[in-house]
Amino acid sequence: MYHELTTEELAHRKRLRIVAAACFAIVALLMVFAVRGMREGFREQGAQAMRSSILSAARRCCAVEGSYPKSIDYLEERYGLRVNDRDYVVTYEYFAANVSPSVVVVPR
C-alpha cells in the first residue's frame, strides 16, 4: 500500500538531512585540525631529533679529535651526519675548540 508523505513528514526529513550534513561538516573540520596538530607535533619532534644528532656527532668528534668541529659541513664529510635543509633551518654556532657549539633547529 502506498502512503504519501505529509508536509510535516517532509519537513522532518529535511531537518534530519540538514542536521546530518552539519554533523558531517563538523566532524570533517575536527579531523582537519587534528591532522594539522599531529603534523606540527611530528615536525617539532623531528627538529629535536636532528638537534640531538648534530650535538651527538659534535661530541663524538670532540672525543676522537680533541676539539669541537667548526662547522656542520665537517660533521657531514667526516662523521656521516645528514642534515635535512629542505624541512629545517639549522643554525650551528662555533665558539671555541673546548666549548660545545650552539645548535638551533627550527622547522620551516
Summarize pLDDT for 62-73 with one digit per residue, the tens: 999 999 999 999
1 occurs within a structural domain: no
Separation CA 8–CA 75 (nearest Å): 75
Residue 1 scores a pLDDT above 70? no
The total domain count for the chain is: 1
48 occurs within a structural domain: yes
Domain that holds residue 24: 7-107
CA 25 vs CA 11, 12, 14, 21, 39: distances in Å: 21, 20, 17, 6, 21
User: What is the three-class DSSP state of 11?
Assistant: helix
66 occurs within a structural domain: yes
2 occurs within a structural domain: no
Residue 30 scores a pLDDT above 90? yes
CB 58 within 8 A of CB 75: yes
38 occurs within a structural domain: yes
**What would the grid cell of residue 35 be?**
591532522
The average pLDDT across 3-23 equals 91
Confidence class for position 88, pLDDT limits 50, 70, 90: very high
Reference 56, options 79, 74, 73; nearest CA is: 79
39 occurs within a structural domain: yes
56 occurs within a structural domain: yes
33 occurs within a structural domain: yes
